[in-house]
């Protein structure tokens, strides 16, 4: 399996452990990644809010760079998935608009081509694991089942809504994939209120109270439901749930302290990688408890 890989901005910025653990996990799974290091930010919905055409052109450029490799594209960020799917939907809907956008790219020898049969696509690592790699194949690679580890899924809005745009008609189970992956890795699913809710990150600079109330509430609910950790396919959710967790604790006025893993880290642990190899010491909320649980419960 070989893919054009868009790591996104945050995985090479505040959450370098995500980029690192993805590289490690891809190698162990036998997935070859061709990094799109000349591609640009997806705009995270913010650029579209400013100028829709600008966001569409920026993402058309990234898609075109991926298409140039002859490979489908993989991302590791729910927000990238959502923002890019939104642009792709507009580009695919209207050939005239697509030509107009491609005009802006023609000087760079690039052009985004709509794939009528969906053979070229852009999928988050989570979707790819379930739909293309296969859960049985994943389970067969597990060296250290996550037995006894109670994991709360946290999806990130952009990968679950809006359903009409995100291919749920074709893949209706996309909003239970995290649970399926946790199961395939031998972990225990923790049900709590926040799994498909918003982490609050998009408004953290505009309404800190609203933002951190959301993050703190979800982390607290997961703790109350008995979670040892959360797992998320979105580094922006990670920023609010992990990096801001001590601040969120103050806003919701309770003790928190729950490890938040990136999806490749959870997969990596089950593949036998050590927490250090997966950069888990770079988190703000301590990940030691996860390690202790894994040691305490024999695989």
Q: List the interface residues with other proteins, window 265-284 (CB under 8 A).
A: 281-284
**Where do we find the tokens 């070989």?**
2
Q: Looking at beta carbons only, is 143 or 163 nearer to other proteins?
A: 163
Residue 203: CB atoms within 10 Å: 15
User: Binding of other proteins at residue 90 (CB under 8 A)?
Assistant: yes
User: Binding of other proteins at residue 116 (CB under 8 A)?
Assistant: yes
Instruction: Restricting to residues 146-175, name those near other proteins by CB under 8 A.
Output: 157-158, 161-163, 172-173
Question: Can you read off the two tokens belonging to residue 252?
Answer: 């919701």
Question: Can you read off the two tokens belonging to residue 76?
Answer: 């590791």
Of 24-32, 139-147, 192-200, 266-274: span binding other proteins (CB under 8 A): 192-200
Distance of closest approach, residue 245 Cβ to other proteins, in angstroms? 9
Q: Looking at beta carbons only, is 1 or 188 nearer to other proteins?
A: 188
Helices of type H across 185-253: 208-224, 235-238, 245-252
Instruction: Pick from 28, 34, 97, 299 the residue near other proteins by CB under 8 A.
Output: 97
Q: How many CA within 13 A on the CB side of residue 145?
A: 12
Best CA proximity match to 222, nearest among 243, 204, 245: 245
Distance of closest approach, residue 180 Cβ to other proteins, in angstroms? 6
Distance of closest approach, residue 19 Cβ to other proteins, in angstroms? 12
Secondary element (H or E) of residue 106: helix 95-106
Distance of closest approach, residue 30 Cβ to other proteins, in angstroms? 26
Contact of 59 with 48, CB cutoff 8 Å: no
Instruction: Restricting to residues 199-228, name those near other proteins by CB under 8 A.
Output: 200, 202-203, 205-211, 213-214, 217
User: Binding of other proteins at residue 85 (CB under 8 A)?
Assistant: no
Q: Looking at beta carbons only, is 57 or 72 nearer to other proteins?
A: 57
Q: Looking at beta carbons only, is 1 or 176 nearer to other proteins?
A: 176
DSSP 281: G
User: Binding of other proteins at residue 237 (CB under 8 A)?
Assistant: no
Q: Looking at beta carbons only, is 28 or 282 nearer to other proteins?
A: 282
User: Binding of other proteins at residue 296 (CB under 8 A)?
Assistant: no
d(CA 8, CA 4): 12
Contact of 218 with 197, CB cutoff 8 Å: yes
Instruction: Restricting to residues 15-74, name those near other proteins by CB under 8 A.
Output: 15-16, 37-38, 40-41, 43-54, 56-58, 61
Sign for the pseudo-dihedral over CA of 117, 87, 104, 66: negative
Please state, in angstroms and as integers, the Cα–Cα distance from residue 71 to each residue in 30, 57, 123, following that order: 16, 20, 12
């Amino acid at each position: 399996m070989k893919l054009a890989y868009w790591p996104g901005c945050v995985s090479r910025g505040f959450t370098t452990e995500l980029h690192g653990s993805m590289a490690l996990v891809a190698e162990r799974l036998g997935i070859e990644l061709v990094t799109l290091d000349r591609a640009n930010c997806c705009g995270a919905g913010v650029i579209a809010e400013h100028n829709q055409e600008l966001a569409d052109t920026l993402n058309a450029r990234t898609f075109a760079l991926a298409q140039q490799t002859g490979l489908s594209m993989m991302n590791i960020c729910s927000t990238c998935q959502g923002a890019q799917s939104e642009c792709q939907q507009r580009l695919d809907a209207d050939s005239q608009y697509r030509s107009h956008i491609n005009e802006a790219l023609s000087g760079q020898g690039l052009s985004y081509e709509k794939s009528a049969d969906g053979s070229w696509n852009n999928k988050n690592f989570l979707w790819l694991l379930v739909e293309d790699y296969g859960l049985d194949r994943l389970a067969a690679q597990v060296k250290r089942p996550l037995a006894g580890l109670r994991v709360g899924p946290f999806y990130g809005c952009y990968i679950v809504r809006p359903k009409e745009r995100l291919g749920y008609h074709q893949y209706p189970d996309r909003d239970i994939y995290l649970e399926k992956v946790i199961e395939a890795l031998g972990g225990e699913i923790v049900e709590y209120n926040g799994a498909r809710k918003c982490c609050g990150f998009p408004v953290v600079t505009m309404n800190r109270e609203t933002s951190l109330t959301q993050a703190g509430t979800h982390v607290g609910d997961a703790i109350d439901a008995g979670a040892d950790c959360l797992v998320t396919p979105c580094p922006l959710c990670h920023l609010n749930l992990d990096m801001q967790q001590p601040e969120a604790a103050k806003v919701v006025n309770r003790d928190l302290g729950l490890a938040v893993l990136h999806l490749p880290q959870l997969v990596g642990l089950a593949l036998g990688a050590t927490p250090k190899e997966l950069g888990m010491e770079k988190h703000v909320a301590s990940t030691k408890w996860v390690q202790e649980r894994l040691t305490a419960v024999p695989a």
